[in-house]
Amino acid sequence: MLTYGAPIPFADIATPNLRPLPSPNEVPGFDVLFERAPLPMWICDVESYRFLAVNFSTLKSYGWSREEFLAMTLDRILPPKDVETFLEYRRQVESHGASVNQTKNWRHKTKSGEVVAVQTSSQSVIFRGRRALLVTIHDRSGHLRAEEESRELAHVLSLAADAIIVCSLEREIRYWNKGAERVYGWTAAEAIGRRADDLLKIEMETCLKCMSGLLEKGDWNGQMTHKRREGSDVIVNSRWTLGWDEETRQPKSVLLINSDITETKKLESQFLRAQRLESIGTLASGIAHDLNNILSPILMATGILRQSLPKADQQMVDIIEGSAERGAGIVKQVLTFARGVEGERVLLQPKHLLTDMVKVMHQTFPKNIDLKTNFAADLWTVQGDATQLHQVLLNLCVNARDAMSPKGGMLKVSCENVEVDAQIASMNPGAAVGPHVCFSITDTGSGMTPEVMEKIFNPFFTTKEQGKGTGLGLATVIGIVKGHKGFLALQSEVGVGTTFRIHLPADCEGRTEEKQAETLGDLKGNGELVLVVDDEAAIREVIMGTLEAHNYRCYSAEDGTDALAMYFERRSSIHLIITDLHMGMMDGITLTKSLKKLTPDVKVIVSSGHIQKENQTILEGLGVKQFLEKPYTAEKLLTCVKHALTATPPAGTAAQA
């Protein structure tokens, strides 16, 4: 029995086909080397596999005493499931005689029952005249744990949505996870070995700048634009971390974690654009209000001038009226952009709108434009303002025509029913889930660059030559579409063409009805007394001149306070009050409330260049039924006055605070 401090009888140990091992005198202390070896070692009989000698490391690692080991055979330290494998190994050894020298992986069991992974190195020897195996054991548990952790890490990295890439300092790709495959389209086999800057189309100047910051600070992060496999851009939030060699403490590799934020940037851009448009809209509303006050007397005065001048001198009046109407149209576009669509909404059949518009285009568009239509047979109805929606579609078609001028091309107008799901709604601010009617305007014109597409809906932005466009067309379009609770999508490519898609919420149960034309009748008055209230003297004078020319009598007041005092004195004789909404001292709403306290059934017309929805609701609650939107013509003024005077007050009208 081999014991610590007792030399092994070397004369009894020899390897086959070799000279006998030297005696203990020739190799002194071998028993000490065996006993103190850092790795577990044992000698076992090659026939019975009984342990013949074990060292101290074996006792420490496995837990049995030396006496217990020397009474055991090798199969005792194997898990039950591995015994059959061991028996097959024994048959191999027996068939090869005593010359089995090999390394093999096993699972061993300690005295406590713990199973450990080991690697054994076996050497055939002669021990005390018997064939035996000298076995050295290497614990593989830590190695296997590392392998398992590595596999788990690789699995987790493959599940990551981010693109995780490892590169050398020369930017050669060494690792490429599944996230990178999803973001960029390249497989790991295609990407590994290639330079990252070449594969992802990173500009060298940008790459060198990032590497410089990385080597200086150890990490870098920022936004970058890369190219996908098919050539499209992908915007990523990129984080670079420097890897170090543990031994040399020198930079070794670069870890890149790239998060795809392309869609997020699109949404952010849409949000910022919406904020920008809202700010410009607020400013535009104020400017438009002042312009309306300037244009209103001009537009109304032309009617008076035309009646007083001979026909030969009316050409100049026509020019003035045309210019004023053109200015009023531009102001109306500004207001539409600024506040969206406000007006009467009725059930509309899209096919009727499109049919009328196509007739106009056939008559007015150049013959080198091939006009095609495709309308679904069962289109849903929409709630909307026919005039405003007609303006939207015609604006887009005119822009398409201009984009194809002078060469011509194909213009396709189509309409279909679509279901907007949650994903589409999330990509279009303001969109709602549900049934929509989609209008599509497609042309084969010059197309737009991404930079132009970014600005195309901004008011006063135009790509047309000076004098050929105000830059309000598309700003008005998006204002009307949003006012109808719809949304607009744009696709364009330079040299290929442009497609606008307008989605409006559908009323699937609705039925359209023809609106009866209203007979205006005689616009002359019967001597009724009208109180005109406006803080603009020119507007007061023109309104009074128009009314007096048509058999009305008038008083005027420059603000609400004067008007209230005048009405208090003459309320029995005043038939109607026309008041501006926005005035100093006392505005139109406060004046109307005060008038209603004095005379609950008093008739009031409110005029303004900008009647907000909430103000209109308040005035309607006070019993106001007639509104004049500045600027307006003499005909519209007279019509509104006629309707207000002939309207029957609603039963039970009471004064309101």
Tokens, residue 150? 């590595």
Instruction: Decide if 563 contacts 579 (C-beta within 8 A).
Output: yes
Angle between helices 315-339 and 262-308 (to 10 degrees): 150
pLDDT of 652 > 70? The answer is no
Measured in degrees and rounded to the nearest 5, phi and psi for residue 337 equal -60, -40
pLDDT of 92 > 60? The answer is yes
Mean pLDDT is highest, among 279-288, 313-322, 400-409, for 400-409
Measured in degrees and rounded to the nearest 5, phi and psi for residue 168 equal -75, 175
As a whole number, mean pLDDT of residues 408-418 equals: 92
Confidence band of 463 (pLDDT split at 50, 70, 90): low
Tell me, what's the pLDDT at 86?
82
Tokens, residue 6? 């007792």
227/405: higher pLDDT: 227
- On the 0-12 / 13-18 / 19+ scale of CB atoms within 10 A, 121 is middle
As a whole number, mean pLDDT of residues 465-484 equals: 66
Q: What is the DSSP secondary structure assignment for residue 628, as one 8-state letter? A: E
Q: Which of 590, 577, 594, 585 is nearest to 628 (CA)?
A: 577
pLDDT tens digits, one per residue of 316-340: 777 777 777 767 766 665 565 555 5
pLDDT tens digits, one per residue of 500-547: 999 999 987 654 444 433 433 468 889 999 999 998 888 898 899 889
- Could you check whether the bond before residue 80 is cis, i.e. omega within 30 degrees of 0? no
Tell me, what's the pLDDT at 464?
52
Tell me, what's the pLDDT at 468?
44
Is-above-0.85 flag for pTM? no
Lowest mean pLDDT among 308-317, 386-395, 606-615: 308-317
Instruction: Decide if 221 contacts 238 (C-beta within 8 A).
Output: yes
Instruction: Decide if 242 contacts 215 (C-beta within 8 A).
Output: yes
Distances from the Cα of 557 to the Cα of 14, 221, 318, 507, 540, angstroms: 131, 67, 31, 47, 8
pLDDT of 356 > 80? The answer is no
Tell me, what's the pLDDT at 507?
85
Q: Which of 501, 566, 515, 513 is nearest to 540 (CA)?
A: 566
Distance separating the N- and C-terminal Cα atoms of the chain: 116
pLDDT tens digits, one per residue of 182-192: 999 999 999 99
pLDDT of 656 > 50? The answer is no
As a whole number, mean pLDDT of residues 447-466 equals: 68
As a whole number, mean pLDDT of residues 141-148 equals: 74
As a whole number, mean pLDDT of residues 443-447 equals: 89
pLDDT of 21 > 60? The answer is no
Cβ-Cβ contacts under 8 Å for 161 (sequence gap 6 or more): 179, 182, 259, 260
3-state secondary structure of 22: coil
Pairing of strands 409-420, 369-375: parallel
Q: Please work out, in degrees rounded to the nearest 5, the angle formed at the alpha carbon of residue 341 by the alpha carbons of 336 and 346.
A: 145
Tell me, what's the pLDDT at 24?
34
556/304: higher pLDDT: 556
- On the 0-12 / 13-18 / 19+ scale of CB atoms within 10 A, 657 is exposed
Helices (H) and strands (E) in the chain, counts: 21, 22
As a whole number, mean pLDDT of residues 74-100 equals: 76
Tell me, what's the pLDDT at 318?
77
Tell me, what's the pLDDT at 295?
82
* Mean pLDDT for all residues in the chain: 80
Tell me, what's the pLDDT at 274?
65
Tell me, what's the pLDDT at 499?
92
Confidence band of 310 (pLDDT split at 50, 70, 90): confident
pLDDT of 15 > 60? The answer is no
Q: Which of 591, 625, 632, 638 is nearest to 609 (CA)?
A: 632
Confidence band of 105 (pLDDT split at 50, 70, 90): confident
Distance separating alpha carbons of residues 185 and 190, to the nearest angstrom: 10
Distance separating alpha carbons of residues 84 and 90, to the nearest angstrom: 10
465/579: higher pLDDT: 579
Tell me, what's the pLDDT at 513?
43
Burial letters for 614-626: b for 16+ Cβ neighbours within 10 Å, e otherwise? ebbeebeebbbbb
239/265: higher pLDDT: 239
pLDDT of 98 > 90? The answer is no
Tell me, what's the pLDDT at 187?
92
Tell me, what's the pLDDT at 593?
93
The distance from CA 211 to its chain's CA centroid, rounded to whole angstroms, is: 31
Pairing of strands 434-443, 409-420: antiparallel
pLDDT of 612 > 50? The answer is yes
- Could you check whether the bond before residue 22 is cis, i.e. omega within 30 degrees of 0? no
Q: Please work out, in degrees rounded to the nearest 5, the angle formed at the alpha carbon of residue 58 by the alpha carbons of 52 and 60.
A: 140
As a whole number, mean pLDDT of residues 392-416 equals: 88
Measured in degrees and rounded to the nearest 5, phi and psi for residue 223 equal -90, 140
Tokens, residue 453? 């597409």
Q: pLDDT > 70: what percent of the chain?
A: 81
Confidence band of 215 (pLDDT split at 50, 70, 90): confident
Q: Edge to edge, what strands does the sheet with 51-54 contain? A: 51-54, 41-45, 130-139, 115-127, 102-109
Confidence band of 299 (pLDDT split at 50, 70, 90): confident
As a whole number, mean pLDDT of residues 92-115 equals: 75
Tell me, what's the pLDDT at 10?
36
